[in-house]
């Protein structure tokens, strides 16, 4: 449980602009949709997808590193990894098991015989959008267990898009449609409090000192 009094005290160390910004961003955050990136080899692509998730209010990103272990490219993510939650997995199997337990359907973003076009996708279902490797796409393991195959309509000679571009097109579309529904897509009150505390901690330089002083004063009263 979050100590509300401590959180309110810590937020006094933020500028009014920063506090307002946190509030505005949090009100648009969702876990109704999430993204999984499978063994993406190019570091900047993973970082760019994280940045895209932050831009469109996706709070959690799942990174599967079965073959390609990587660190997040800070420059390309533009600090986005501070504001979204990264879940890391060593195998596709573990990732899918965990995501299903959280109530997500597995959506493979790939052209497929039974695919759904983006404009026809049902946004009411909790969904995890899987994006695959640059050249090979998603693994057969993901394709075999996917609940849905999602396709971006394309009419040019090129039949594939960069992973971060695909993520941006899909997330912009589905989050816009989601907000037009009656679904309760926002973070719960408790989740919002946790994120406020998390973001405050990442923003204030002397966080530990301030917390210690706060509790010392509390105990002395």
The pLDDT tens digits for 49-62 are 999 999 999 999 99
Distance CA 92, CA 139 (A): 9
Contact indicator for 40, 69 with CB cutoff of 8 Å? no
Residue 127's DSSP bridge partners are: 33, 105
Average pLDDT, the chain: 89
What is the rounded distance in angstroms from the CA atom of residue 61 to the CA atom of residue 54?
Answer: 9
CA distances from 45 to 17, 53, 171 (A): 31, 12, 16
Q: What is the tens place of the pLDDT at every residue in 71-105? A: 555 555 567 778 999 998 989 999 999 999 999 99
Q: Domains in the chain, start-ordered, CATH in brackets?
A: 1-22+187-221 (no CATH), 31-186 (3.40.1280.10)
Task: Say which residue the tokens 């965990």 belong to.
Answer: 98
Find all residues with CB under 8 Å of 53, minimum gap 6, and list them. Answer: 35, 59, 61, 80, 84, 167, 171
The pLDDT score that the predictor gives to residue 175 is 98
Which of 119-128, 150-159, 173-182 bottoms out in mean pLDDT, i.e. has the lowest? 150-159
The residue among 87 and 66 whose pLDDT is bigger is 87
In contact, 35 and 87? CB cutoff 8 Å: no
Interacting residues of 59 by C-beta distance below 8 A, sequence separation 6+? 29, 30, 31, 34, 53, 84, 85, 187, 191, 195
DSSP E strand boundaries for the chain: 33-38, 60-64, 85-89, 105-109, 116-117, 127-131, 148-151
Confidence of residue 217 (pLDDT cuts 50, 70, 90): confident
CB 149 within 8 A of CB 105: no
Is the pLDDT reported for residue 143 higher than 60?
Answer: yes
Three-state DSSP state, 3: coil
């Amino acid at each position: 449980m979050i100590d509300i009094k401590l959180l309110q005290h810590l937020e006094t160390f933020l500028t009014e602009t920063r506090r307002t910004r946190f509030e505005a961003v949090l009100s648009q955050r969702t876990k109704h949709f999430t993204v999984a990136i499978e063994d993406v080899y190019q570091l900047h692509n993973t970082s760019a997808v994280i940045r895209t998730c932050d831009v469109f209010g996706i709070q959690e990103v799942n990174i599967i590193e079965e073959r390609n272990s990587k660190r997040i490219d800070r420059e390309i993510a533009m600090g986005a990894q501070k504001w979204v939650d990264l879940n890391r997995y060593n195998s596709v199997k573990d990732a899918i098991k965990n995501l299903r337990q959280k109530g997500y359907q597995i959506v493979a973003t790939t052209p497929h015989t039974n695919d759904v076009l983006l404009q026809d996708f049902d946004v009411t279902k909790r969904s995890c959008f899987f994006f695959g490797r640059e050249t090979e796409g998603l693994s057969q393991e993901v394709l075999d267990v996917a609940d849905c195959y999602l396709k971006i309509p394309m009419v040019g000679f090129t039949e594939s898009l960069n992973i971060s571009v695909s993520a941006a097109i899909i997330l912009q579309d589905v989050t816009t449609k989601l907000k037009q529904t009656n679904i309760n897509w926002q973070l719960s009150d408790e989740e919002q409090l946790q994120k406020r505390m998390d973001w405050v901690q990442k923003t204030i330089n002397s966080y530990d000192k301030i917390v210690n002083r706060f509790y010392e004063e509390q105990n002395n009263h």
